[in-house]
A and B are shown apart, each in its own frame.
Chain A
Amino acid sequence: QDLTLTLGHAVFESHPLHDAAVRFAREVDERSDGSIKIDIFPARQMGDVKELMEGVQLGTVDMTVNSSSALATLTPAVDAFQLPYVMRGYAEFAKMAVSPEAEAIMDALGDHGMIGLGLYEGGQRHFLSTGDTVTSMEGFKGLKTRVAPTKLFLAVWNAVGVNPTPMAYGEIYSGLETGAIDAVEINLTSIESEGLYEAAHNVTLTGHYFWPGIMLINKDLFEGLTEEQQTILRESARASVEPQVMAVADYDEELKDTLAAKGVTITEASDDFKAQLEEAWAPVVKSYADSDPLIAAFVEKAQSLQD
């Protein structure tokens, strides 16, 4: 074997982004006839999201597959991937993930010493609450809702009238259980894997945005590889995107039944409700598209797919 790359990530092995790493590693193994090995360190063994991102920048971690929201602090255009209702379904996400518009945004990470090889998916986000199921805009009013405190998420959640409350990921369970928060916007996978269904029972399937992960490699390292190796890595990443994303879609369907069996009420957001949400979020999407041509191009392409 000519080359071993360490890939660290911050999620448990049941998480879709671990699946992304595994699929990528398998593709690389096949395409390189075993001459390139991807050594995966799951579950924060090499550090959390921020450390892994810095590790790839500094060259202490070769690769990671990391939540895109963390990268928005470096390259604001990355926010394009999480604008609400710009992409509606997993199939559309899979198409957009390999679009030239998405690649242009990932290329911008090159300024920070990283190369984005591929855009994967960690699970579409929905709304989990401890009180009544939220079925209308009124239901959001004043709910203490855990969100990651980025500018984008604060704008998105302020726009619908909740009280966005920053809280560490590990504190969500006890926050819901004790009532320190009333709700959380989250993916079905985490509701299951973190046992959140014990503390909160009502899910509204809002599907407001996705939770993408970007496969990153240190830039100097990548540029030092042979052209053939570079091609193998790029093609392996690209080839593993669609199957990974669609596997998450299937897994979500499975989870709806699993969670329902555990006593969770799962309610589809009505078309009317979704229309109201889209209307509330339109100004947010517009202001982000206006702020960056890369975002504008991505939004335009995504919307053209919807029509």
Chain B
Amino acid sequence: MIWLGSIFFLTLAMGVPIAFVLGLSAMGYFIFTDNLRFLVAIPQRMFAGQDSFVLLAIPLFILAGNLMDVGGLTQRLVGFANSLVGRFRGGLSLTAVWGSFLFGGVSGSAAADAAALGTVLTPDLKRQGYHEDYAAALIGVSSIMAPLVPPSIAMILYGALSGTSISKLFVAGIVPGALLAVILSAYAVWIAGRRGYPKLPPMGLAEIVRAGVNCAPVLLLPVIIIGGIRGGVVTPTEAAAVAVVYALIVAGLWYRALSLPRLRRVFLSTAMMSATIYLLIGFAHVLSLIFAMERLPQTVVTALNSVSENKWVILLMVNLILLVLGMFLDTVGILILTVPALMAIGQQLGMDPVHLGVIVVFNCLIGFATPPVGLCLYVMSGVTKRPIEKISLHALPMVGLALVVLAVITLFPQVVLFLPNLLVH
């Protein structure tokens, strides 16, 4: 394990893409521990890790989100959010927060959310006098709500790895996502008050209704997904296929925004994004074989228990470990590496696997907004062409607020569980 760890951190520091870091660690382990006969297990396990029906929901939800985005959906969502919250102090920054929340209903990934809203909103925010780094940080941190609102790639992955009901996980993310939106809104209003950011002209009920109708098909998508799974019509993977067909119809026939070249581009970028995630899943599945051979989950549980037997202390340690991992790794990587050990811990603590799943996913998502490797901050840096360090600095207080939400959902399971228990099962 020393070899594995050294190669992992060395290649990570060298800037090698994360998927290859996992692969090199595994290969180095087999070579340096004189287990050359296991080299053939690398392609075999890569294949096996990718060979899953449940995971197919990932490319399909990516495609649905991409289709909705080129369909001009983001502007419509922004318009709707504006009509609702624009009238308050810092109106446009509130639009960023709630637009992000709404966009989560069609997007399964935080990076897609950041890219879509960042492109649409940062020019306007800048024009209205918002500090550009603050605006970028706000959108970057808000985008982590996307995987909390169904659909969600992170939830699918956790469900697939732990055998937890994906429909329950989907529903369980909604309240934590809304809590984050509320707390970020409060922060945005406070900042706006201090810096004198403007309100937007209030809109009348008719305008709100018009804006709502304009993006109604989008707001319906999560309802269709949850309803379809709950009603026994589809499995989560099939729900993703239905979402794609729905997105094709909405973007093509309703918004009339699909052309053949656009479709081509969307399908291609879906293939690339999915391939990248699948490679990560494949390499992580190789690593999980090593963890099994080394009986790592048991070791981790024993180690945690040796520190304390108190449920809350153990959960605090779990949260800290995940947050540290989140600084360096992305969600897919963290989930694949840690879920086996986490399930063992959860079982020992008698935790509901849905509750545990939301805590774990929330931790990973915070990682999207923490330096040095915060994917969403990187996306915003790319969109705004501002240095990542400056954006990270502005993101820090918001990350602190996200930690408050994390503490709330860790300490009060009912916040997470009452909605799925009400709607599912």
Interface residues of chain A, those whose CB is within 8 Å of chain B, are 41, 45-48, 50-51, 54-55, 58-60, 167-168, 170-171, 174-175, 177-180
> What are the interface flags for B39-52 relative to A under an 8 Å C-beta threshold, 1 for contact and 0 otherwise?
01100110010011
A47 to B288, CA, bound (A): 9
Residues of A within 8 A of B51 (CB): 50
Task: Of the listed stretches B72-80, B107-115, B230-238, name the one at the interface; the rest are far from the partner chain.
Answer: B230-238
Docked-complex contact A41 and B292, CB < 8 angstroms:
yes
- Give 9 A-B contacts (CB < 8 Å), ordered by A residue: A46-B293, A47-B45, A59-B37, A60-B38, A168-B54, A171-B235, A174-B167, A179-B232, A180-B232
B289: interface (CB < 8 Å): yes
B163: interface (CB < 8 Å): yes
Docked-complex contact B165 and A174, CB < 8 angstroms:
yes
Docked-complex contact A60 and B41, CB < 8 angstroms:
yes
Given A175-B235, A178-B231, A180-B235, A46 and B44 contact (CB-CB distance below 8 Å): no
A116 to B229, CA, bound (A): 42
Docked-complex contact A47 and B48, CB < 8 angstroms:
yes
Docked-complex contact A170 and B40, CB < 8 angstroms:
no
Docked-complex contact B165 and A55, CB < 8 angstroms:
no
Docked-complex contact A51 and B235, CB < 8 angstroms:
no
Least CB separation from B163: chain A residue: A170
Interface residues of chain B, those whose CB is within 8 Å of chain A, are 37-38, 40-41, 44-45, 48, 51-54, 163, 165, 167, 229-235, 289, 292-293, 425
Given A46-B292, A54-B44, A178 and B38 contact (CB-CB distance below 8 Å): no
Given A50-B48, A177-B425, A167 and B235 contact (CB-CB distance below 8 Å): yes
Least CB separation from B232: chain A residue: A179
A50 to B285, CA, bound (A): 14
Contact of B234 among A45, A51, A59, A180 (CB under 8 A): A180
Known contacts A51-B45, A59-B37, A177-B232; 12 additional CB pairs below 8 A are A41-B292, A46-B293, A47-B48, A50-B48, A54-B44, A60-B41, A177-B425, A178-B229, A178-B231, A180-B233, A180-B234, A180-B235
Docked-complex contact A60 and B229, CB < 8 angstroms:
no
The smallest beta-carbon distance between A149 and chain B, in angstroms, is: 11
Residues of A within 8 A of B163 (CB): 170
Least CB separation from A167: chain B residue: B235
Docked-complex contact B44 and A60, CB < 8 angstroms:
yes
Residues of A within 8 A of B289 (CB): 46-47
A54 to B47, CA, bound (A): 11
The smallest beta-carbon distance between A3 and chain B, in angstroms, is: 16
Docked-complex contact B232 and A178, CB < 8 angstroms:
yes
Residues of B within 8 A of A180 (CB): 232-235
The smallest beta-carbon distance between B342 and chain A, in angstroms, is: 15
Residues of B within 8 A of A60 (CB): 37-38, 40-41, 44
Task: Please name the 8 residue pairs, one residue from A and one from B, whose CB atoms are nearest each other, closest first.
Answer: A179-B232, A178-B232, A45-B292, A60-B41, A51-B48, A180-B232, A58-B40, A168-B53
Least CB separation from B238: chain A residue: A180
Choose among A54, A178, A179 the residue with the greatest number of B CB atoms under 10 Å from its CB.
A178
Residues of A within 8 A of B52 (CB): 168
Residues of A within 8 A of B234 (CB): 180
Residues of B within 8 A of A167 (CB): 235
The smallest beta-carbon distance between A41 and chain B, in angstroms, is: 6
Residues of B within 8 A of A58 (CB): 40-41, 44
Residues of B within 8 A of A174 (CB): 165, 167, 235
A167 to B53, CA, bound (A): 9
Residues of A within 8 A of B233 (CB): 180
Least CB separation from A47: chain B residue: B48
Residues of B within 8 A of A178 (CB): 167, 229-232
A50 to B71, CA, bound (A): 41
The smallest beta-carbon distance between B244 and chain A, in angstroms, is: 19
Given A168-B54, A178-B231, A51 and B292 contact (CB-CB distance below 8 Å): no
Residues of B within 8 A of A177 (CB): 232, 425
A45 to B296, CA, bound (A): 11
The smallest beta-carbon distance between B246 and chain A, in angstroms, is: 19
The smallest beta-carbon distance between B372 and chain A, in angstroms, is: 33
Residues of A within 8 A of B167 (CB): 174, 178
A170 to B230, CA, bound (A): 17
A48 to B165, CA, bound (A): 20
Choose among B51, B54, B289 the residue with the greatest number of A CB atoms under 10 Å from its CB.
B289
The smallest beta-carbon distance between A173 and chain B, in angstroms, is: 8
A168 to B425, CA, bound (A): 20
The smallest beta-carbon distance between A56 and chain B, in angstroms, is: 11
Docked-complex contact B425 and A55, CB < 8 angstroms:
no
A59 to B40, CA, bound (A): 9
Docked-complex contact A179 and B231, CB < 8 angstroms:
yes
Residues of A within 8 A of B292 (CB): 41, 45-46
The smallest beta-carbon distance between A176 and chain B, in angstroms, is: 9
The smallest beta-carbon distance between B237 and chain A, in angstroms, is: 9
A179 to B233, CA, bound (A): 7
Least CB separation from B228: chain A residue: A178
